[in-house]
Amino acid sequence: MKKILVILIILVTGVSFMAYLYFSKLNTENNEKDLALQSATNNAALIFAFQNDKSFYQIIEGQSLIQQVLGNQKSNLLKALKLYFIQDAALNNSIANQEIYLSILPDEEKELNFLITVQLQPDKKVQNIYTILKSKYLIDDQGNDVFKIKLNDSLSIFFGTKNQVITASTSKKLVIDAAVRLAENPFTEYIKQNNTYNKNVLGQIYINFNKTPLLLQNIIAGKLNGEISIFDKQNSYASLNYNFSKEKILFNGTTELKSTDNYLKLFEKVPNQTIYITNILPSNTANYNLYAFDNYENWRKKLITWQTNFDDEKKVSKTIDEVKSDYRVDLNSIFNTYTKNQFICFQLSTAEKLGAISLSNGEKVKQLLLDVSADYNEEIKIFKQSDVLYAFFGTPLKKFARPYYTIIDNNLVFANNASTVQAFLNSYKNNKLLINEASYLDAMNLVSTTSNLSFFINTNNSKDIFKENVLSPYYKHLRADSGLKSFDTFYYQMSADGNKFITNLLLNKYLQSEIPDTLRNR
């Protein structure tokens, strides 16, 4: 019996040891395969991934819109890298059919720059690459496996060669930083789990919203507040597939919210809604953030839980109790009963900010709010109590502490100034609406009619806002004919699908059909 027991122990120990060796080797091999990805994701907010094959380059060369977005300088850099490395058979042989990562990062000059990362094929050696490069170009050894290569009189590239990974950039800092590979990086793991590359997908874009402030602070003058505050401290990721088109730039895929305290989590697992509140927006709307749910009373229960986690529930209850005590108005019975299923925050080209809430019975709400409101004029009122809207809708409406408002066609529309509400009424009554603009209709025809969250920018209506808030080099690119000027719409649309959001990212250019000369004077 003792002999049998000893044999069993030896067998179990042996099997456990062999399994340990096998899985350790497997993990090591997997980690080695991920070295390029680890370098690419270090501090990156935005990564474009594609496979290094001829078909990709043939298709992308016909996509002039991408070149407009990147600008002449960055486009010319990528063309040069393709010319000197991809089209060089000896060099390209070592990275053929490998995935290439194009990361966008701020460099030592605090300008957005490219870091290109690719892993050599398993049977290729870095030394062979170095030998080929040295035979063709002037190479300056910078130390720590970093080299400066002079490609021509006007272009030099820094190359990093660590393990089986090649990194390249015009920034020495980005190449050095890429050599630091984090053993645990949530963004790396997210990309590995969401890499759905196939022959029908030209490329994928991955967004790390944790790092978007690093990008935006090099573009935006000042802090990330107002409409772009949604990108600050946002523990979220997106994986989007690129759809080739000569008329638009469209990505679709999913967005995942990782933080349980994220306000947008309130819209997870909520049925998608047909959007209609945008029909009231003035024609000079510069941007909007839209929120939609199926049942307000159920959604508000989630909001109360969220407010409790932030110790805001007591403040909210105090606001509601004070209104009930001072004005004998039960706000719960009003908003729980008559709020429909969507609300929106929007900004006009004049930089004025407004919001709107859809109602099931606007006339009834108008009567019920009389005692908690003061008259500005016959159409415009002002809340007597502060933070009413924040209490019932949360963070997006916090900036409207004690707003002026009007109720028209089952919509509660509000702003911090009476003149802003009046400007809205003038546009609405005169039918000067965004839905009458051909460029807006063209863009909306390219995305879903149902969603839960949408973030929209009209670039033409936003030009003065950009001028005040975007740093000069990027503003020039936004307004340049060769840059982004001809693009009229940016749209980020999210539709709940369990714990993820199905996502469309659109950058659209409305191509107005020309009228034939034979019809011009008829």
- 10-residue mean pLDDT series, the chain (522 residues): 48 44 38 82 92 83 82 87 90 91 91 93 88 91 91 91 91 92 88 77 91 85 64 84 85 94 94 98 97 97 93 91 96 97 97 98 98 97 97 96 97 98 98 97 96 96 92 88 89 96 95 51 41
- Give the pLDDT of residue 340: 98
Task: Report CA 461 to chain centroid distance, whole Å.
Answer: 20
- In the chain, what are the domain boundaries? 33-231, 259-508
* Residue bearing tokens 């190479």: 139
User: Helices in 328-437 by DSSP H: which ranges?
Assistant: 331-338, 362-368, 388-393, 418-429
What pTM was computed for the model? Answer: 0.88
Nearest residue to 209 (alpha-carbon basis) of 178, 232, 186, 240:
232
**Per-residue model confidence (pLDDT) at position 197:** 60
Residue from 94, 258, 77 nearest 174 by CA = 77
Please give the structure tokens belonging to residue 58: 């043939």
**Planar angle of CA 305, 309, 315, nearest 5 degrees:** 85
pLDDT at 220: 83
What amino acid is encoded at 427 in this protein?
A: S
pLDDT at position 16, please?
Answer: 43
- Sheet strands (E) in 179-301: 204-208, 236-243, 248-257, 273-274, 285-292
Do the beta carbons of residue 46 and residue 205 sit within 8 Å? yes
Strand partners, 70: none
344 — phi, psi (to 5°)?
-150, 145
β-pair type (489-497, 453-458):
antiparallel
Backbone torsion region of residue 258, taken as left when φ is above 0, otherwise alpha when ψ lies between -120 and 50, otherwise beta: alpha
Return the residue matching tokens 């429909």.
340
Question: What count of other Cβ atoms lies within 10 Å of the Cβ of residue 33?
Answer: 13
Q: Which pLDDT belongs to residue 32?
A: 61
Decide: 278 and 458 in contact? Cβ < 8 Å.
no
Closest to 39 in 3D by CA, of 117, 98, 104, 121: 117
Q: How far apart are CA 434 and CA 275, in angstroms?
A: 14
Which phi and psi angles does 430 have, rounded to 5°? -95, 10
Give the model's pLDDT for residue 199: 63
